Amino acid sequence: MRDALPELKQVGVAALGISPDMPEQQKQFDAKHNFGFPLLSDSDHQVAKAYNVWGQKNMYGKITEGIIRSAFLVDAKGRIEKTWYKISPTDTVPELMRALAG
C-alpha cells in the first residue's frame, strides 16, 4: 500500500491500516517501514470481529486465533463496496485497482 499511495491519491483513495497491536508497537513498526498512512489500533478486537476478520487460522499446521489478513474498499459514505478476505499483501493493490476500474 505504501508504494501505491501516490497512485491511490490520484484516484481519490485513502489508505488506513488496522491491527490488534498497541499504538506504541504500531509507531515502531511505522518508523521502521515508513508507511505514510494511518495505522489504527484494535487491541480489543472489536473492529476485527465486526468486520469478520478475527478468527482461527492455520499457521504451519498449528491452529491459532488472530487477524485474517483482509482488505476493504469503503466508499465516502462508509459503505463497503468490495471485500477481499485472506488476500496477500502483494495482491491487495492490484485487486483494488481492478475494482476501481471496473
Q: Are 14 and 37 in contact (CB under 8 A)?
A: yes
Paired with 75 in beta bridges are none
- Distance separating alpha carbons of residues 31 and 27, to the nearest angstrom: 6
Convert the pLDDT of each residue in 48-61 to its tens digit.
999 999 999 888 99
pLDDT over threshold 90, residue 5 = yes
pLDDT over threshold 90, residue 73 = yes
Paired with 82 in beta bridges are 73
For the chain, the domains span: 2-96
Average pLDDT over residues 75-96: 95
Looking at residue 26, its pLDDT comes to 92
Average pLDDT of the chain is 93
Of the candidates 99, 98, 92, 102, the one whose C-alpha atom is nearest the C-alpha of residue 5 is: 92
Looking at residue 4, its pLDDT comes to 93
User: Quick one: CA dihedral 65, 69, 73, 78, positive or negative?
Assistant: positive
Looking at residue 101, its pLDDT comes to 92
Looking at residue 59, its pLDDT comes to 82
CATH class of 2-96: alpha beta
**Whole-model pTM?**
0.85
